[in-house]
Structure 1
Amino acid sequence: MWLLNILTGMRKVTVSETERAIVLRKGRIHAILGAGEHRIWARDVLERHDLGDPVFTSPLAEALMRGHAELAWAHLTEMRTDAGEIAVIERDGRLFEVLAPETRRLLWTDAGPWAVTRVDLSDGFAVDRALGDRLTRARMTHAMTVVEVAEADVALMFVDGALAEVLEAGVHRFWTAGRTIVVKRVDLRWRAHDVTGHEILTRDRVSLRVNLAADFRVVDPVRAVTAVRDFEDALHRALGLAFRKTLGALTLDALLADKLAVDAEAADAVRAEMAELGVEVGAITLKDVILPGEMRDILTGVVAAEKAAEANVIRRREETNATRSLLNTAKVMAENPVMLRLKELEALEAIAGKVERLTVHSGTDGLMNDIVRLRD
């Protein structure tokens, strides 16, 4: 046989079940060989393709489709998408590839069977839930955007810079399709915002720092996101400016005397400004007033002096009351000798309780006559 091949200028090639081969004769496409043994000219060029990779990739692809259409359709399947279309390709019932708009794919027909599901993007960018679940399980999410929105949040979806949809809680999927999709999540719960170390100059030109806190929540997420670049930063500025204006009109003594009045005075301006941005502001609190070191020392001295003066007044008042009480007692004793004698006995009892032994020189009769006898 080999001698016959040499004499006839032929050669034998074998193509396996998992292969296909393109025969080039004199530089032109001649045939596509399936599985089996084939005889070709010795000078023919053979281009082998493994069906393990079902996508037909070859520099001969365009020439084959243009000049040998019948031969190509006998072995290849073409998948093509329009500008506003996405195609989901399945191979033997399993997801194989997602084609973006204006994309063409050539597949070996024998590597199938093939099926295609086409999605018209003019109907919207949302991905069918069942199809989206299949693509997610197959980890084929490159052609879509997956958005997960928590229970207390909403999400604003911008497509090519324009607001397209407000997404509620749940999982949402959208075809990217060559577009830029940006999602901004907004928390609708009550939150606290702190303004720390805000410097203020009071009316009497005392420089101090204050710490503020405000409770807020977003009631209109579209306005909150689109009206300003950052609504929390806007709240921060509004709190700072309102309290700077309010506290700057007060003296230090007035500020320290009633902080709650200052809170109520500045709150309305902040609430009105933030309501225009779709943000509801609740309680606003002036938490701390921090004085500079020198002023703190001065105020500490003033407070110490005031307390010392108050203590001195109280001490003098108590001394006066004690003196008045002694005077009254003396008057009672002068007018009533019995009371005087009772006082003497009390003093004697107090003395006797503090010593171990008490000696009375005048005897019992003298003690009773001199101390106990209650008469003039």
Structure 2
Amino acid sequence: MNASVSAIVPVVAFLTLYILSGIRVINEYERGVKFTFGKFSKVCNPGWRLALPIFQRMVKVDMRVTVMDVPSQVAITKDNVSTTINAVLYFRVFDAAKAVIEVSDYFNAISQLAQTTMRNTVGEVSLNELLQERERVAMRIQSIVDKETDPWGIKVTAVELKDIELPGNLQRALARAAEAEREKDAVIIKAEGDRIAAENIAQAAEIIARSHGGLFLRTLSTLTDLSSDQSNTIVFLLPIEIFKALEKYVKS
């Protein structure tokens, strides 16, 4: 009897250690893809799960949104301008089984796909479109990458273009063009102001011309403003309206 017990104890201890070694803890943000004898069995939800050593294997997949920094790429635009562009890509796994079975390394695969797509998309637009419509270009990249990664069980949620670097000579040319544009706007605004001022002066002259003594009163008002400073020398010009008023007074 004692011999039988002595033989069973090691077996029980071995089985206990064997089972305990197969316990896997899956966090809330993870899913476990279980394989039995090399074949896909099921996707395990968060909690304690058992994967028997030798017979079964479990691969954990992170289901959270992942941020990927797409390395800088030298791309040529549609109008043959060389630019250096980089971006940031956001994606998440929505099917853990496909992410493990359909692609060997989905993180590296998405990175390479994003780099290629970014170069191709930049080559389809001109430099002005790239600079002025960055959101549209980013959405174009997102739609292409998302379509290609859908069979892998991966959803690309957003793509943002971080920086667009232009050659030094092109930057100087753009700066000169922008400066010339601002000077043109300044000249147009000044000319518009002169036109409005001339129209107002013409209207004021017409009003003064229709009023007897209006020019004389305006002259006196100007002299009043100048007389406040004693250092000014005032040259007083008599308008012809004064003589007309005196002539009417004498005749009356």
Q: Settle same-fold status: TM greater than 0.5.
A: yes
Deviation at 1:229, TM superposition (A): 1.8
Determine the structure 2 residue equivalent to 1:271. Answer: 146
Alignment of 1:146-295 (within 5 A): 146-158=23-35, 162-176=39-53, 179=54, 183-295=58-170
Determine the structure 2 residue equivalent to 1:40. Answer: none
- 2: CA distance, partners of 1:74 / 1:286: 75
Structure with more of its chain in strand, by fraction: 1
Identical amino acids, percent of aligned pairs? 23
Contact 2:51–2:58 (Cα < 8 Å) also in 1: no
Deviation at 1:185, TM superposition (A): 2.0
Deviation at 1:338, TM superposition (A): 3.9
* TM-score, scaled relative to structure 1: 0.53
Contact 2:34–2:51 (Cα < 8 Å) also in 1: no
- 2: CA distance, partners of 1:192 / 1:337: 81
Contact 2:32–2:58 (Cα < 8 Å) also in 1: yes
The size of the alignment, in residue pairs, is 236
Letter in 2 for 1:215: Y
Question: Relative to 1, partners in 2 of residues 1:75 and 1:299: Cα closer, same or farther, differing over 3 Å?
Answer: same
Higher relative contact order (CA 8 A, sep 6+): 2
Deviation by residue 1:66-95 (Cα, 9 ceiling, x = unmatched): xxxxxxx988964279xxxx8334xxxxxx
Deviation at 1:189, TM superposition (A): 2.7
* TM-score, scaled relative to structure 2: 0.76
Deviation by residue 1:160-215 (Cα, 9 ceiling, x = unmatched): 75545532111234443xx3865432122333333242221112221112232333
Deviation by residue 1:231-266 (Cα, 9 ceiling, x = unmatched): 122222222222322220222122223223323434
1:330 maps onto 2:205 in alignment: yes
Deviation at 1:297, TM superposition (A): 1.8
- 1: CA distance, partners of 2:26 / 2:175: 54
Q: CA RMSD in A?
A: 3.5
* Runs of at least 5 residues in structure 1 that lack an aligned partner in the other structure: 1-72, 90-97, 99-117, 120-124, 133-143, 359-369
Structure with more of its chain in helix, by fraction: 2
1:79 maps onto 2:3 in alignment: no
Letter in 2 for 1:320: R
* Runs of at least 5 residues in structure 2 that lack an aligned partner in the other structure: 233-238, 246-252
Deviation at 1:153, TM superposition (A): 1.1
SS at match of 1:276: helix
Letter in 2 for 1:79: A
- 2: CA distance, partners of 1:187 / 1:328: 77
Letter in 1 for 2:148: E
- 2: CA distance, partners of 1:287 / 1:306: 27
- 1: CA distance, partners of 2:120 / 2:2: 83
Alignment of 1:58-73 (within 5 A): none
Question: Relative to 1, partners in 2 of residues 1:297 and 1:162: Cα closer, same or farther, differing over 3 Å?
Answer: farther
Letter in 1 for 2:108: D
Question: Relative to 1, partners in 2 of residues 1:76 and 1:223: Cα closer, same or farther, differing over 3 Å?
Answer: closer
- 1: CA distance, partners of 2:3 / 2:68: 67
- 1: CA distance, partners of 2:214 / 2:229: 25
- 2: CA distance, partners of 1:263 / 1:226: 29
Letter in 2 for 1:87: V
Determine the structure 2 residue equivalent to 1:31. Answer: none
- 2: CA distance, partners of 1:219 / 1:171: 21
